[in-house]
Amino acid sequence: MKPLIFDATPIIYLGKIDFLEKIKHFPEYKYTTESVYNEVVVEGKKSGRPEVFHIENIIESGIIKLKIPFNEQYKFHLLENPRIHKGDADVLALATELDGIALLDDEEARGMAEVEGIEHHGTVYLLLRMVRMELITTDEAIEGLNEMIHLGWRCSTELYAEILKVLK
């Protein structure tokens, strides 16, 4: 099984809707990078976001492990694109090193994953897996999706309609 490599957005929004802990039931190894940890937890504490302490506990308990990508040259290559942030580059680099799946929602990062041939999915993939694994109900997934949108997670109306179609 390919390990799951989490970028900031899936961690943040699953944390906001209190679904993040459910990923402990996924059989794959789960990782994030130090740069994502700093973005989500360290900077999140400064802004006083309520979900940050829960996210920190998930990481400190080892449900999601911290791992640093080693291929600096590859990270620099990814960062040549000015729209790719350090966290995105680290997640993509780690996914490459571990032959894993990058979990990210940022359109630019997903585009870079396509170009680089890196398998990737987003937060919706995680919600759908939770439903398939019976960790949440379809109604809970829809409520969670609506809450994420209410809290600032963005998706097109076309994607929203497609998600509802898949869920029902």
CATH number at residue 136: 3.40.50.1010
Say if residue 94 is exposed, middle or buried (CB neighbours under 10 Å; 0-12, 13-18, 19+).
Answer: buried
- At residue 47, does pLDDT exceed 90? no
**Among the listed ranges 50-54, 117-121, 123-127, which one has the minimum average pLDDT value?**
50-54
Between CA 54 and CA 133 the distance in angstroms is 22
pLDDT-based confidence at residue 48 (cuts at 50, 70, 90): confident
Confidence of residue 20 (pLDDT cuts 50, 70, 90): very high
| DSSP code, position 17 | T
| Residue 13, amino acid | Y
CA 17, CA 15: separation in Å to the nearest integer?
Answer: 5
Q: What is the pTM of this model?
A: 0.94
For the chain, percent of residues with pLDDT exceeding 90: 93
Write the single-letter amino acid at 42. V
- How many distinct structural domains can be found in the chain? 1
> How confident is the model at residue 168, as a pLDDT?
82
Say what the pLDDT of residue 60 is. Answer: 95
Domain of 56? 4-167
CA 168 to chain centre: 24
Structural element, H or E, at residue 115: helix 107-116
Mean pLDDT, range 109-119, rounded to an integer: 95
Residue 90 has what pLDDT?
A: 97
What's 22-73 look like in SS3?
A: HHHHCCCCEEECHHHHHHHHHHHHHHCCCCHHHHHHHHHCCCCEECCCCCHH
Q: Are 155 and 149 in contact (CB under 8 A)?
A: yes
* pLDDT mean over 84-105: 96
- Mean pLDDT computed over every residue of the chain: 95
